[in-house]
Structure 1
Amino acid sequence: MYDPLTDTEIGTNLAYPSSYWVDHTATAIQTAPLQHDLSSDIVVIGAGYTGLSCAYQLAKRFKREVTVLEANQAGWGCSGRNAGFVLRGSGRLGLAQLTQRFGLDSARLFHQEYGAAIAQVKHMIADGNIACDSQPAGYLKVAHNTSAAAELPAQAAFLQRQFGYQAEYLSESQLKNDYMHNARAYAAVKFPDCFGVNPLALAQGYATMAQQSGVQLYTGSPLLSWQRSADGSFVLQTPQASVRCKQLVLATNGYTPKGLYPAFNRACLPVLSSIIVTQPLTPEQLEQSGLQHTQLVMDTRALKYYYRKLPDNRILFGGRSAVYGKDAEKAVYPARLLSALKACFPMLAELRVEYHWSGWVAVSYDDLPRVCEAEPGLFYAGGYCGSGLSFSTQAGVRLAELAMGIELPPLPIYQSRLVPFPLPAFRRLGQQGYYQWGRFKDRFL
């Protein structure tokens, strides 16, 4: 499959990858490739959550003339492939880590911003009447061993005391009595405001809202190259036409082709995440597994597993995948996920996989995303580290405000660019080393 660390072209007008979401999402938006030269006030590259949210804000709220260029289809990248976890956060740092790095006042501002991100997703769903199978709220952070379980009561108390956030500690017996008979779950913290959606349907809904607000959305129109004019404006080249604009927003994150914007390319590591979806569970299997709820679940491993029950009683189960794009479709990866699922739920030993797909997330060097004006008139957001559904929507709002000259909240993620990786040519070697360490840690520590 396409690999942003090695491929300079993402493809043109490619169909959505085969997935559960594609089979359960009606495509209603009408788009076509750009076939004529044009000028636009502002151009957004990428029709995922970030780009569509940004374009919608610019057109609806600020009355700007906006063009969106998408290489393939709206939501073709991570926005249409993820697990549909609307989480309170982004990057890889929890509130305790943010407190240690930036202080309690900044951590509280992060908490507020992450809450605003969830609220923005809910607002978009309601305002656009988006049918995306929103499930009842609740997210379980599950301890995968006893040492991790011992830390959870203090974590829940910290969130309640310092942030007024009603996280709830669940003992092993509470977890198994009320939520699931997971053989590898030893306790949990429940987060009350996170929820699950059909991510592709959400992206389609965002696209419809953007178009209805006056945004011109062109699919099958990859950005092949760009340059500045003498007056500081931009000239963009697509396969069949060129576009001139005053401001440019790069909203491509984990699907940014090699060389498109080297400063961004050097500052992100594209990492594959892989998902399986099983056949529907029978009533007997639901009862035996205890999976009668719709809570999002993620464990405390270094190489995390995440899962949830879908509306038709299938289990979505995901985790890390291949290191290189060329290996993404190898059978070992869905087999490994299914084995991990059955290790958690031995009573589901006969369960089969009916869907498998993979997608890229962008991991930043310092584990934090960024929203910034990288140079005059050029903006980007990215580095969500695989936790970007809600925050990418909020990042679109902040990008639009930044383009309009509005001062953003005083958070580090809004005050600087992404940090380049040292020795970027060796990023994948470092990733392989981390995976080896993570497997050791998750098994023995």
Structure 2
Amino acid sequence: MGFDEFLEKGSIAEEPVLTAGDLARGHLKPTRGLTFRPYWWEAAPRQHTSPALPKRSDVVIVGSGFTGLSAALTLLRHGRSVVVLERGVPGYGASTRNGGQIGSGNQKFRVKRLIELRGPAKAAAMLREGVRMLDYIEHLIATEKIACHFKRCGRFRAAVQPEHYESMARDMEDLHAIADVESFMVPKSELHSEIGTDVFFGGSILPQDASLHPGLYHAGLMQRIQEGGGHIIGNAAAQDISGDEHDGHSITTPLGSIKARDVIIATNGYTDGLVPELGRRIVPIGSGLIATGEIPEDTLSRLLPKNRVYGNTNRVFYYFRAAPGERRLIWGGRVGRLANNTSPLAFRHLARDMLHVFPELADVPVTHGWDGTIGYTYDEVPHLGRAATGMYYALGYCGTGVSRATYFGNKIALQLLGRSDGRTAFDDLSFPSFPVHTLAKRAVPVVETWYRFLDATKR
């Protein structure tokens, strides 16, 4: 019997796969597992090279995510020399670990609540600038010719409860009135025109929201920076920064020291004690995602007939989309609390959520599971500006960082250059610290568990 015939008779069994149903039930065999890295890295592997550290640069940027790369590109285009420092492999953090959904960044507050917090004029300015953030990332991708599957696909936000639908409808009216944002509502009777499930009570559509492939977008930004003469250096954590705005800064790394006229801190969810006044203003929160294997074309087109990006109205929300150019589903939410991120159990809750919405996917394989860290601020808005030490910063995107980080990176670079077009509606916002930062970090899982309880009990 030949080898091909041997295979056909099944004498050599294929390695069993982990299905969504198995994962949701916790039925895990030793031979079944996930690839514990972002699905996005399949098309855009991380670059492990660490070039030599220059002795001097006009600007050093700490952090190689979207903020840092956007800032670097802006500075290079204005004739500055730039070095980007990354503690690990460039792009290892949340910029290549997110879901690739792009909005205007106003998912945290309803319009009326934002007005209560900031006043009508400031709320309007922040909302309008959110729209400009979305437009800016589209402009940048087109101008720099970055192939990353950018698409204005629209966002469907599902109402988990009937009262959520009515509340969203009023909020969409307010959003149009104050910021001229286009939207429309989809009642439960028309739900299947947008999504193939019966578990929701309608939802809202923001047709200008977008999607991209975050791995390819990040790789494209890196390529443009390197082509422009910028340096992106991995395994070069900024261990200490001394000096000031008058004499310049000296940045110590494992590869040596570098001097720079200016420094930008662009670390978001990976902000630590390097700059204490920033460290106590950011709490890291974990985000987890899974990717499925191939889904039959007729099934996927029925489940996601408009191929948008999707989310819901829960306090602890989940979000999902189809992978660009493939029949896979990317499903995200908060990280699992009962297992580490190299155990399939860390992603069990994501499979459960997915099968609650789409039970017909129980037999579809789950191929990838990964997590990332987002940066939360006490007031739940992002911040940019100049620290007391003279260093610049942009961070705190609270889970809506694809467009915000890109936009804020550009703006903080323009502010460093002293340009008037670097001004934003966020410049004069106070940046509050967490009252007890250490306790705030420890409280995250407790608060999240409480929110899950409220979601489950429909309160």
- Under a length normalisation based on structure 2, what TM-score does the superposition of the two structures give? 0.86
How far apart are the structure 1 equivalents of 2:196 and 2:355?
12
Kept in 2: contact 1:43–1:68 (CA 8 A):
yes
- Write the letter of the residue equivalent to 1:437: W
SS of the aligned residue for 2:387 comes to: strand
Q: Which residue of structure 1 lines up, in the alignment, with residue 179 of structure 2?
A: 163
1:53 and 2:98 correspond? no
Q: Taking structure 1 as reference, are residues 51 and 230 closer, same or farther at Cα in structure 2, changes over 3 Å only?
A: closer
Report the residue type matching 2:239 in the other structure.
L
Q: CA deviation at 1:346?
A: 1.9
* Distance in 2, Cα, partners of 1:163 & 1:230: 38
Task: Pick which of 296-305 and 205-214 moved more.
Answer: 205-214
Identity of aligned residues (%): 24
Q: Work out the CA distance in 2 between the residues paired with 1:404 and 1:361.
A: 28
How far does residue 234 in structure 1 lie from its aligned partner after superposition? 0.8
Q: Distance in 1 between matches of 2:429 and 2:123?
A: 17
SS of the counterpart of 1:395? helix
- Distance, in Å, in 1 between the alignment partners of 2:107 and 2:83 is 28
Superposed counterparts of 1:297-336, under 5 Å: 297-310=310-323, 311-322=325-336, 327-336=340-349
Could you tell me which amino acid in structure 2 is paired with residue 271 of structure 1?
I
> Which deviates more from structure 2 when the two are superposed, residues 106-115 or residues 387-396?
106-115
User: In structure 2, what is the equivalent of residue 285 of structure 1?
Assistant: 299
User: Does the alignment pair 1:126 with 2:126?
Assistant: no
- The number of aligned residues is 422
Return closer, same or farther for 1:159/1:239 CA change in 2, 3 Å cut-off.
same
Matched, 1:42 2:55: no
Tell me, in whole angstroms, the C-alpha distance in 2 between the residues paired with 1:156 and 1:90.
12
Match of 1:9 in 2: none
Match of 2:84 in 1: 68
Amino acid in structure 1 at the alignment position of 2:74: Q
Say if 1:100 and 1:301 are closer, same or farther in 2 by CA, change over 3 A.
same
Code of the aligned partner of 1:128? E
| Partner Cα distance (1:406, 1:114) in 2 | 20
User: In 2, Cα distance between the equivalents of 1:415 and 1:92?
Assistant: 20
Point out where structure 2 has 5 or more consecutive residues left out of the alignment: 1-34
Q: Comparing 308-317 with 101-110, which one deviates more in the overlay? A: 101-110
| Contact 1:72-1:222 at 8 Å conserved across structures | yes
SS at match of 1:43: strand
Change (3 A) 1:94 1:54: farther
C-alpha separation between the residues in 1 aligned to 2:285 and 2:79? 36
**d(CA) in 1 for partners of 2:44, 2:177:** 42
CA contact under 8 A between 1:90 and 1:388: conserved in structure 2? no
Q: Do 2:191 and 2:198's aligned partners in 1 also have CA atoms closer than 8 Å?
A: no
The separation in 2 between residues aligned to 1:295 and 1:99, in whole angstroms, is 29
Match of 1:21 among 40, 47, 52: 40
> Contact (CA 8 Å) 2:187, 2:201: kept in 1 or not?
yes
Structure 2 counterparts to residues 350-389 of structure 1, below 5 A: 350-389=363-402
User: Hey, what's the Cα distance between the residues in 2 that align with 1:17 and 1:338?
Assistant: 15
Residues 329 and 162 of structure 1: CA distance in aligned 2, closer, same or farther (over 3 Å): same
**1:405 aligned to 2:424?**
no
Deviation at 1:230, TM superposition (A): 9.9
Answering whether residue 127 of structure 2 is matched by residue 111 of structure 1, we say: yes
Structure 1 stretch displaced more, 399-408 or 338-347:
399-408
2: CA distance, partners of 1:389 / 1:219: 21
Q: Residue type of the partner of 1:381?
A: A
Q: 2:202 aligns with which of 169, 187, 190?
A: 187
CA distance in 2, matches of 1:91, 1:194: 12
Aligned to 1:13: none
What displacement does 1:353 show? 1.0
Q: Secondary structure at the match of 1:286?
A: helix
Tell me which amino acid in the other structure corresponds to 1:234: H
Code of the aligned partner of 2:38: S
Q: Match for 2:348: what amino acid?
A: A
State how far apart, in whole Å, the 2-side matches of 1:409 and 1:182 are. 44
Question: In structure 2, what residue type is equivalent to 1:282?
Answer: P
Shift of 1:305: 0.5
Q: Deviations over 1:18-40 (max 9, x none)?
A: 2210112266x7x8425355111
Cα distance between partner residues in 1 of 2:451 and 2:141: 37
Report if aligned partners of 2:374, 2:398 keep a CA contact under 8 Å in 1.
yes
Question: Residues 218-367 of structure 1 correspond to what in structure 2 (within 5 A)?
Answer: 218-228=233-243, 231-256=246-271, 258-286=272-300, 289-310=302-323, 311-322=325-336, 327-367=340-380
242-251 or 373-382, larger mean C-alpha shift: 373-382
> What is the match of residue 207 of structure 1?
222
State whether structure 2 residue 189 is matched by structure 1 residue 173. Answer: yes
Distance 1:333 1:36 in 2: 38
d(CA) in 2 for partners of 1:227, 1:174: 60
1:91–1:242 CA distance, 2 compared to 1 (3 A):
farther
Contact 2:290 2:369 in 1 (8 A): yes
**Is the 8 Å Cα contact of residues 91 and 384 (structure 1) preserved in structure 2?**
no
Residue 117 of structure 2 aligns to a residue in which SS?
helix
Q: Structure 1 stretches of 5 or more lacking a match?
A: 1-15
CA-CA distance at 1:376 after TM superposition: 4.7
Structure 1 CA distance for aligned equivalents of residues 298 and 190 of structure 2: 21
Distance in 2 of aligned mates of 1:331 and 1:32? 30
Partner Cα separation in structure 2 for residue 200 and residue 378 of structure 1:
29
| Secondary structure in structure 1 of the residue aligned to 2:254 | coil
Partner of 2:403: 390
The 1:404/1:230 distance shift into structure 2, 3 A limit, reads closer
Aligned residue type for 1:201: L
Which residue does 2:23 correspond to in 1?
none
Structure 1 contact 138–193 (Cα < 8 Å) conserved = yes
